[in-house]
């Protein structure tokens, strides 16, 4: 075999490029100058949980617009020069990192199951050998990463990622501001505030002066309470100012990044980048996946997400406060008895009390004694994002990890990082931001220590680099955990450079290609769903291509973040009639807000010769919070089972796609889905035609900010059905009214009766 040179094996991770400097002409640089994807339709409510704190900071300086000389946003073509030092490039060679190649999960014989996980005379090596012998794409000789399509000796390892493109990347990213503290801030106001803040920075204001100014105006405008304004300015102001001093962006570009497409889809060629795929042909596509065998071995999997444990929750405190998080002693006294926080939680803006978390875990341990492994998809700290410290967030992480270890001894747990684990929230600097005071290593290093209770030593390098990892769970079955905060549009470090932060996606391709060669199936876990509006459009688009390329390898994805019980579909980018992936979005433990606490159980195709590693079925379990507070004791119960509730013969992508079509056409079925989406909350609002379009569109859109591409046909059908329903109701009402008349009314002077006049007017 031809030896691999150091230059061939090494690659450069994303680095900053000074504005105005031309891109490198290195062959490893991928330049994408094509127009962006079709402009998406702005949506206002995919996730009402996120707090658009950057808008708050920008809006705090809005009153200064009286100074006409301080309105650079009116002259966006004039951009001052930014003088700063480009950080040194780093080298991180993907294929030199340790990989998990030994099965991490030991099968357990559960007496309450009707089958054995493995026959007693079957070893892991023998089982793996059988999988290899029956794989569809078996070749006569072994293959290596990667093939050199140019010929020669054939086997070389070209670099996996291109160097970073330009530093400027802010484009669309739809921010969910509905029901958040920033809900009244408009795009125009954002532009004015951004321009004003940029002006103050350029005029030489110190960081302390800027933060004090932000605090004063936030308070004077009653945007929030004084302590929230002060906390936000202190926590977010320093990093925001640091970033804005190092980018050269117009207010239009900045607000397009912060608010999203609703504030104009500003095209920026420096924001366009593409991952590199190895020169390996995609395996032939099957017409449809096989249905998992009945009565075959399976894994029982627990999915917990968005715990948002609040150590300061206080029963009887004010649950109806005017801050982003209530139900604390600091929230004040309740004005009425109805405003008091419940014992087990509250439907208003309150997170999860410790007693509720304890009770849920005890219930799970007692009810589901045969759990094989756990998926834990992040967001452990509460929503007091103006009041958090690194020390407190780390303490919550340590406490919850300790609790999980004690409640589920010996059960493997596969965690993923949420956006609330950092302090401040959503702040996840890429590896090239390595200054001690702003580096994210304080969090990633501790995560490595805590997660190593369940994960093999081989994951240390990638966890400490970017909080992502890959673990071989069983022979032929791998779990990959992604850090979705590198697609988070609230992570303003991406303003500096969003080109594949931490080279995570290129590493992801390497892992999937290795899995494809080894005939492994992969489950992907993360926090923010890739199709959610909180995910950067360019990142989501690249991820979508990866899933399409490796559709025969990735058999399921699992996320949280939205707090709802839902799912996302993936399709062949060139054939929307071919569904090729499904992402399960698990319910939140936190009731924040208007929700019942919940968790999910999956049944995954297990160890046998014909295994698909598909999800066979899933159950959602909830606790009725209203009844728990009323009677003083919570009862957890199974809300529904997917296949039985929706009459699905399997949970393949094609089956979920069929369900989507039925949800569009069958109003009764949609209302059932809507009930489960809200976890049967009594506080759920009614859902009109616009609500229905949004929810079904969210399910179809595994690629963010591309609703026009995925949803036009669905929205048209719903509009048509809504119109028919309205007319049917209207005419039915008129007919009933006519039948109820006891006598014929006298004709009018124009020859029409009153009923006839109505009909004529409607027709006209």
The residues facing 620 across adjacent strands are 600, 640
Q: Binning pLDDT at 50, 70 and 90, where does residue 114 land? A: low
Three-class DSSP category at 285:
coil
Mean pLDDT of the chain: 79
pLDDT band at 124 (very low <50, low <70, confident <90, very high): low
Which of these, 385, 349, 351, lies nearest to 490 by C-alpha position? 385
Encode pLDDT of 456-475 as tens digits: 999 999 999 999 999 999 99
Per-residue pLDDT at 69 exceeds 80: no
707-739 and 689-700 helices, crossing angle to 10°: 150
Q: How many CA atoms lie within 13 A of 427 on its CB side?
A: 26
Beta bridge partners of 575: 572
Q: What does the pLDDT read at residue 437? A: 82
pLDDT in tens, 224-271: 888 999 999 998 888 888 988 988 878 888 777 766 666 767 777 767
> Which is it for strands 298-304 and 598-605: parallel, antiparallel or unpaired?
antiparallel
Report how far residue 569's alpha carbon sits from residue 710's, in angstroms, rounded to the nearest whole number. Answer: 10
pLDDT higher than 60, residue 51: no
What is the arrangement of strands in the sheet containing 566-572, beginning at the earlier edge strand? Answer: 469-474, 477-481, 521-525, 554-559, 575-585, 566-572
**What DSSP letter does each residue of 349-396 carry, written as one string?**
S--B-HHHHHHHHHHHHHH-TT--EEEE----S-S-TTS--HHHHHHH
Q: Average pLDDT of 187-204?
A: 81
Q: 383 a known binding residue?
A: no
User: Contact 540/704 with Cβ under 8 angstroms?
Assistant: yes
DSSP helix/strand/coil, 568: strand
- Residue 293 CA to residue 139 CA, distance in Å, equals 27
Residue-wise pLDDT for 30-50, tens only, equals 333 333 333 333 344 444 444
Nearest-angstrom CA–CA distance, 409 and 421: 24
- The CATH number of domain 298-313+351-688, selected from 3.60.21.10, 3.50.50.60, 1.20.120.160, 1.10.10.60: 3.60.21.10
pLDDT of residue 449: 97
Q: How far is CA 325 from CA 13, 104, 348, in A?
A: 38, 40, 9
Q: Which of 307, 306, 308, 304 is nearest to 375 (CA)?
A: 304
Residue 130 confidence (pLDDT): 62
**Was 608 annotated as part of a binding site?**
no
Q: What is the pLDDT of residue 190?
A: 72
User: For position 271, what pLDDT does the model report?
Assistant: 76
Gyration radius of the chain over CA positions: 27
For 603-653, the pLDDT digits (tens) are 999 999 999 999 999 999 999 999 999 999 999 999 999 999 999 999 999
Whole-prediction pTM: 0.78
Cα angle 629, 631, 635; round to 5: 80
pLDDT for the residue numbered 678: 98
DSSP secondary structure of 178-223: TTSTTTT--HHHHHHHHHHHHHHHHTT--HHHHHHHHHHHHHHTTS
Cα–Cα nearest to 9, from 24, 36, 28: 28
Per-residue pLDDT reduced to its tens digit, 485-508: 999 988 989 988 889 999 999 999
Structure tokens at 149: 């399509």
List the domain boundaries for the chain: 156-262, 298-313+351-688
Lowest mean pLDDT among 246-255, 297-306, 535-544: 246-255
- Using one digit for the tens of pLDDT, what is the confidence trace for 512-528? 999 999 999 999 999 99
Pick the closest to residue 53 from 238, 291, 267 (CA basis).
Answer: 238
Q: Largest Cα–Cα distance of the chain, in whole Å? A: 101
Alpha-carbon distances of 717 from 419, 666, 669, 696, 699, rounded to whole Å:
36, 11, 16, 11, 16
Which of helix, strand or coil describes residue 141? coil
Per-residue confidence band for 743, with pLDDT thresholds at 50, 70 and 90: very low
**What pLDDT, in 10s, does the model give residues 354-382?**
999 999 999 999 999 999 999 999 999 99
- Give the lowest-confidence range in 54-58, 93-97, 123-127, 350-354: 54-58
Token pair of 685, please?
A: 């609002």
561 is in an annotated binding site: yes
Burial of 627 (0-12, 13-18, 19+ CB in 10 A): middle
Contacts 24+ apart (CB under 8 A), 264-267: 264/187, 265/36, 265/39, 265/40, 265/171, 265/172, 266/170, 266/171, 266/172, 267/35, 267/36, 267/171
* Four-point Cα dihedral 490, 11, 414, 551, nearest 10: 90
CA 564 from centroid of its chain's CA atoms: 12
Distance of alpha carbon 762 from alpha carbon 412, whole angstroms: 65
As a residue count, the chain comes to 764
Query: What does DSSP assign to residue 91?
Result: B
DSSP state of 467: S
């Amino acid at each position: 075999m031809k030896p691999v040179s150091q230059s061939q094996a090494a690659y450069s991770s994303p680095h900053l490029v000074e504005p105005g400097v031309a891109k490198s002409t290195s062959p490893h640089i991928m330049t994408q100058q094509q127009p962006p994807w079709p402009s998406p339709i702005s949506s206002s409510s995919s996730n009402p949980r996120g707090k658009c704190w950057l808008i708050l900071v920008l809006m705090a300086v809005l009153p200064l617009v009286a100074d006409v000389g301080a309105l650079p946003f009116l002259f966006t073509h004039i951009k001052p020069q930014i003088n700063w030092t480009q950080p040194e490039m780093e080298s991180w060679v993907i294929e030199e990192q340790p990989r998990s190649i030994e099965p991490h999960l030991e099968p357990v014989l559960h007496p309450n199951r009707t089958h054995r996980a493995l026959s007693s005379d079957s070893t892991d090596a023998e089982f793996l050998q059988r999988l290899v012998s029956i794989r569809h794409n078996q070749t006569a000789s072994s293959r290596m990463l990667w093939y050199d399509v140019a010929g020669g000796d054939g086997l070389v390892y070209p670099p996996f990622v291109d160097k970073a493109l330009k530093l400027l990347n802010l484009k669309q990213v739809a921010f969910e501001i509905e029901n958040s503290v920033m809900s009244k801030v408009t795009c125009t106001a954002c532009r004015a505030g951004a321009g004003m803040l940029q002006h103050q920075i350029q005029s030489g204001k110190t960081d302390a002066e800027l933060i004090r100014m932000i605090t004063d105006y936030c308070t004077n405008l009653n945007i929030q309470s004084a302590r929230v304004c002060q906390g936000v300015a202190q926590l977010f102001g320093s990093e925001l100012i640091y970033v804005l001093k190092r980018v050269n962006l117009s207010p239009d570009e900045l607000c397009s990044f912060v608010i999203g497409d609703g504030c104009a889809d500003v095209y920026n060629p420096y924001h366009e980048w593409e991952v590199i795929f190895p020169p390996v042909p995609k395996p032939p596509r099957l017409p449809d996946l096989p249905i998992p065998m009945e009565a075959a071995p399976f894994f029982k999997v627990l999915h917990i997400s968005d715990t948002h444990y609040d150590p300061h929750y206080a029963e009887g405190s004010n649950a109806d406060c005017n801050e982003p998080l209530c139900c604390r002693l600091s929230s004040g006294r309740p004005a009425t008895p109805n405003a008091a926080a419940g014992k087990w939680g509250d439907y208003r803006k309150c997170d999860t009390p410790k007693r509720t978390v304890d009770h849920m875990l005890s219930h799970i341990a007692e009810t589901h004694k045969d759990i094989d492994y756990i998926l834990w998809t992040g967001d452990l700290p509460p929503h007091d994002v103006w009041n958090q410290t690194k020390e407190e967030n780390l303490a919550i992480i340590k406490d919850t990890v300790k609790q999980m270890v004690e409640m589920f001894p010996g059960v493997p747990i596969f965690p993923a990082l949420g956006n609330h684990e950092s302090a401040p929230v959503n702040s996840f600097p890429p590896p090239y931001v390595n200054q001690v005071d702003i580096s994210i290593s304080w969090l990633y290093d501790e995560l490595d220590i805590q997660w190593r209770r369940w994960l093999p030593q081989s994951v240390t390098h990638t966890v400490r680099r970017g909080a992502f990892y890959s673990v071989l769970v069983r022979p032929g079955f791998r779990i990959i955990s992604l850090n979705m905060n590198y697609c988070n549009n609230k992570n303003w470090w991406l303003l500096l450079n969003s080109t594949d932060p931490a080279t995570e996606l290129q590493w992801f391709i390497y892992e999937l290609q290795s899995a494809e060669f080894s005939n492994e199936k992969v489950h992907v876990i993360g926090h923010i769903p890739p199709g959610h509006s909180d995910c950067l459009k360019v990142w989501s688009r690249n991820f979508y291509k990866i899933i399409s390329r490796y559709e025969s390898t990735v058999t399921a994805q699992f996320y949280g973040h939205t707090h709802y019980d839902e799912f996302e579909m993936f399709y062949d980018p060139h054939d929307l009639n071919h569904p090729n992936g499904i992402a399960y979005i698990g319910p939140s433990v936190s009731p924040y807000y208007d929700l019942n606490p919940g968790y999910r159980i999956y049944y995954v195709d297990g160890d046998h010769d014909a295994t698909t590693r598909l999800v066979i079925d899933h159950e959602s379990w909830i606790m009725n919070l209203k009844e728990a507070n009323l009677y003083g004791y919570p009862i957890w119960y199974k809300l529904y089972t997917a296949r039985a509730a929706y009459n699905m013969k399997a949970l393949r992508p094609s089956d979920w796609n069929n369900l989507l079509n039925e949800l569009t056409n069958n109003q009764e079925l949609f209302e059932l889905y809507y009930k489960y989406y809200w976890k049967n909350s009594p506080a759920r609002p009614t859902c009109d035609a616009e609500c229905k379009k949004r929810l079904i569109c969210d399910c179809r859109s595994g690629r963010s900010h591309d609703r026009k591409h995925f949803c036009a046909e669905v929205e048209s059908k719903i509009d048509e059905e809504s119109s028919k329903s309205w007319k049917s109701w209207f005419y039915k009402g008129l007919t009933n009214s006519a039948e109820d008349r006891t006598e014929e009314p006298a004709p009018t002077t124009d020859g029409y009766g009153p009923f006839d006049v109505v009909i004529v007017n409607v027709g006209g």
